[in-house]
Amino acid sequence: MDDDDLATPPTHGISTGSTSGERDVAWKSSSGTEEVVAASVVFRLEHGLAKSLKTLVDAEAANAGALNAIQTAYSKELEAQRQTTERGENLFNVLQKYTEFTHGEIVKAALIIGQNEAKLNLFFTTPEEFRSQFIREALEVAWRIALLKDPVCGSAHCVLAPYWARKLGKQKLTAFQVSPRSGTLYLELEAAARRVRIQGESVTVMTGTLLA
């Protein structure tokens, strides 16, 4: 046996191979009855771990950004609510400065503007020179709405009842007014007394006594 034989390890029973960064080593005993296979950690696995770690870091950064955005939006909402509350408390005092309106109109304007958050904020962001017009238009809109406040018109049915009584030959009628809130009336015509009795659901809004 020469020196080269001592320097070179025997290769009998050993096979080596490398595929996609993997290296498998198989060693077979001289008797051929036992076999041990070991797999080493591959570069691809290390790359996958690094990529997963980067994805996790990016996700944490995105979550932190989203949380910061939510906190900022919440702070702005609290500030907006504070301003709205403060404006509502100061509304009546501000409206009293406009002397072209009566006290009753100021009270009504305070109710109209103050009960609507969007309208309240719009009033305070309107330039000073246009606020009188803002108040006037708010009162006019409320007045027009008030004209349509009754879901069923009793006086109109006092005119309709005699007409339909003659048309249908009946003294008792049931009427249904088709309006956004609608309502049903039970009518009885008293021709001799020139009266129309009206029955239906109602709400008492005022009581009083008339003196001759």
Instruction: Kindly report, residue by residue over 90-134, the tens digit of the pLDDT.
Output: 888 899 889 999 988 888 888 888 888 888 888 988 998 899 999
Task: Tell me which residue has tokens 């008030």.
Answer: 146
Q: What is the pLDDT of residues 1-19, one digit of tens each?
A: 444 444 444 444 444 444 4
Residue 21 lies in a domain: no
Distance, CA of 92 to chain centre: 30
Check residue 148 and give its pLDDT.
55
Question: What are the tokens at 77?
Answer: 């909402």
pLDDT greater than 80 at residue 33 = no
> Residue 119 is which amino acid?
K
Query: Phi/psi zone of residue 111: left (φ > 0), alpha (ψ -120 to 50 degrees), beta?
Result: alpha
Residue 16 lies in a domain: no
Rounded CA-CA distance 157/196 in Å is 9
Does residue 74 share a domain with residue 114? yes
> Residue 180 is which amino acid?
P
Section 28-45 average pLDDT:
46
What range does the domain containing 172 cover?
A: 154-198
Residue 39 lies in a domain: no
Taking the C-alpha atoms of 97, 101, 105 and 111 in order, what is their torsion angle to the nearest 10 degrees?
Answer: -30
What percent of the chain is modeled with pLDDT above 70? Answer: 74
Nearest to 135 by CA among 117, 118, 119, 115: 119
Residue 44 lies in a domain: no
Does residue 161 share a domain with residue 113? no
Does residue 72 share a domain with residue 115? yes
pLDDT greater than 90 at residue 172 = yes
* CB half-sphere exposure, 50, CA atoms < 13 A: 6
Domain count, the chain: 2
